[in-house]
Structure 1
Amino acid sequence: MSGRPARQSSSSENSEVMVDERKRKRMVSNRDSARRSRLRKQQHLDEIVNQVANYKKENDQIEMQINMHMNQYLKVESENTILRTQIMELTDRLQSMNSVLRFVEEFSGVAMDIPEIPDPLLKPWQLPCPGQQIVASSNMFQW
């Protein structure tokens, strides 16, 4: 009988050792799983930080392009304003010259060919000088 309790205690000790061993293995497994999870989280965070940096870089480049285009637009708009003003001045001069020619035609009796002056501001598609060629190159539109 004295051997029996020893066997039971030995058997219970073995089961406790097995339970402890399972707990230890589970703890080690949980630690490894937690470590892998932290690594995945860190990698994901690193990817997001890189994406943010790339987006900021792209945004800066786009903003720079917008500023360049805006400056070019303002320059062209300013030149257009100057050209419109010049057209108006030249149209006024031409109208004055035509009125002088009509006056001379009326008092001299000599018939003169006085063309009508189209208003380029009202009819921008109608060129004042239809025989004149429009010359443009592809590089004038490069920014």
Structure 2
Amino acid sequence: MASTKQAVSAGSDGDPRYAGVDERKRKRMISNRESARRSRMRKQQHVEALADQMTQLENEKKIMEKNINSVSSMYVGLESQNIVLRAQLAELTDRLRSLNSVLQIAEEVSGLAMDIPEIPDMMLEPWQLPCPMQPVTASASMFQC
């Protein structure tokens, strides 16, 4: 009888909800509640960490979008400059051909030998490199992270 009173008084001293429950069951319930509280705290911290990570990734995305837009506008500018330069190249090449043909006529009429320069291949085919292609050697280890 005395042990029952001790269990009841111990239960009522700690938490009145557990007054009628034996000691082992009461400790287990308290332990489970504490474990659930810790689990909720961990879950809340995880959610907050994910929210922080999402904010950081959104900021990085905005920066990357700005960089992409900047590079795209630079590309458009360079492309338009390239178009202008190609048109100028074509015009200058035509003018050089015309001048060379005038020199050839003058050479034939005067009978004097003139040094008529050839039109460089680079002007006729600007996509070709001015220097010969050299092989690039690579190994598989260069591409591994």
Question: TM-score, normalised to structure 1's length?
Answer: 0.73
Provide the residue aligned with 1:125 in structure 2. 129
Structure 1's 37 and 16: CA in aligned 2 closer, same or farther, altered over 3 A?
same
CA distance in 2, matches of 1:63, 1:57: 10
CA distance in 1, matches of 2:94, 2:54: 59
RMSD of equivalent CA atoms:
2.3
In the TM superposition, what is the alpha-carbon distance from 1:63 to its structure 2 partner?
Answer: 1.3
Provide the residue aligned with 2:53 in structure 1. 51
Q: How do 1:52-91 and structure 2 match up within 5 A?
A: 52-91=54-93
Report how many aligned residue pairs link the two structures. 118
Bigger RCO (CA 8 Å, 6+ sep): 1
Structure 1's 113 and 121: CA in aligned 2 closer, same or farther, altered over 3 A?
closer
Does structure 2 retain, via aligned residues, the 8 Å contact 1:105–1:112? Answer: yes
Any gaps of 5 or more consecutive residues in structure 1? 1-9, 128-143
Q: Percent identity?
A: 53
Kindly indicate whether residue 13 of structure 2 is the aligned counterpart of residue 13 of structure 1.
no
Provide the residue aligned with 1:3 in structure 2. none
Provide the residue aligned with 1:109 in structure 2. 111
Question: TM-score, normalised to structure 2's length?
Answer: 0.72
